[in-house]
Amino acid sequence: MDLSPGALILCSLLCSVAGQAPVVSVQPRTATVRQGESVSFRCQVGRGAQPVQLEWKRATNQALPDNAKLGPDGSVLTVANTRPGNQGQYRCVASNSAGRSTATAVLNVKHAPKVRLTPAGPLRVRMGVPVSVECRATGRPHPTLTWKRQGSTLQLVTAETNDVNTIKWAAVRPEDAGVYICQAVNNEGVTEVKVEIIVEGGAGAPVAVVSNTEMTVVEGHVVTMECQASGSPPPVITWSKLRAPLPWKHTLVGGVLTLTSVGRQDSGQYICNATNIHGYSEAYTQMEVETPPYATCLPDQVRLQPGDSLRLQCLAHGSHPIQFVWSRVGRGSLPAGAETTKDGRLLIAHVKLGDSGTYKCVTTNHIGSSEALAKVIIKGELHTWLV
């Protein structure tokens, strides 16, 4: 009975009128059933002024489960087809005008263990690394947990703490590969969950080797990259390019990658990947595509007056280093006073009428050469007026 002091005083004055708060009990106070069975609890009012209202609740104040039903007068709570989640306390609350009181029933649902592995398999692990798998089980009665290897009845020595049974290896070896079973047992049943452990890098694991780890090739040529792999079963070989798709014009036959007519954009890292059931192995070829220079002049045409300064820049794409050589078409040598720089510039501080003509820049690298022309027109004041 939970009556406030005020209510008690009120009761001492009026109880003859209002009567007594109800006194309740539940029958049975504890019930243990198997999963799937049904159970009923009756809430009985010993005394108390009528009318008495009865109400069933879960002790956690949650709503009653959907498989719980109340009898016509609200006194009988039936849980049909029980499941593990129905386990817990149920409270009958009786109230009348004088107050209220409660009684609690406990329901235990026996069930076969449920098992969860963390991580769930299959587990691919490299030889030599630590591995552990946790087995957790719920069940009633409390299950006992054991680990064994598939095909063996031998119980493995494992560590169990707080309902978690953990199988672990400080450094996994190839011979540890296999299927392991966590078994949870109680009176209601036996539940087994398996996890497969695949050890990579052990016997039979692939080892990929490329014939060239670095290649320098000339633009437009055909390139072949070879990859060989040992391992058992024989690994499957694939090629890919780092951060880019393989060049469009490629063929792959038995580990040999052929690129036809390579361009500058095909430079980069190529990866051979050999894979079998024991794992994979990668090998790399770094390829640089070299190109002859391609030259242009900036500007390629210029009009000046005597005394102006001439500035020409020769630009070149292509593999470095690139040399620049300026000359004058039909004359061979540059005018006196012309300066050139290593990076392709031509400078004449004060041009003369005789400096007119076509200037040529020849760019050269170890692959080839390319030239570009610039037309220089120098005219006096008078001539400019006439144009």
Ligand X SMILES: *[C@@H]1O[C@H](CO)[C@@H](O)[C@H](O)[C@H]1NC(C)=O
Closest distance between ligand X and the C-beta of residue 244, in Å? 12
98 φ/ψ angles, rounded to the nearest 5 degrees? -90, -15
From the list 174, 197, 233, the residue with the least C-alpha distance to 119 is: 197
Closest distance between ligand X and the C-beta of residue 126, in Å? 12
Closest distance between ligand X and the C-beta of residue 283, in Å? 10
Sites of contact with ligand X (CB under 6 A): 240, 271, 273, 275, 280, 282
Residue 99 in 3-state DSSP?
A: strand
Closest distance between ligand X and the C-beta of residue 208, in Å? 10
The closest residue (CB) to ligand X is: 273
From the list 277, 340, 349, the residue with the least C-alpha distance to 314 is: 340
From the list 340, 242, 353, the residue with the least C-alpha distance to 287 is: 242
Nearer to ligand X, 211 or 240 (CB): 240
Nearer to ligand X, 147 or 280 (CB): 280
Residue 6 in 3-state DSSP?
A: helix
Closest distance between ligand X and the C-beta of residue 275, in Å? 5
Burial class (CB in 10 A: 0-12, 13-18, 19+), 115: buried
Nearer to ligand X, 134 or 282 (CB): 282
Tokens of 377: 């027109």
Is residue 327 within 8 Å of 369, Cβ to Cβ? no
Nearer to ligand X, 76 or 271 (CB): 271
Closest distance between ligand X and the C-beta of residue 150, in Å? 25
**DSSP sequence for 318-342:** SSSP-EEEEEETTTBSPPTTEEE-T
Nearer to ligand X, 282 or 371 (CB): 282
Nearer to ligand X, 45 or 205 (CB): 205
Is residue 261 within 8 Å of 221, Cβ to Cβ? yes
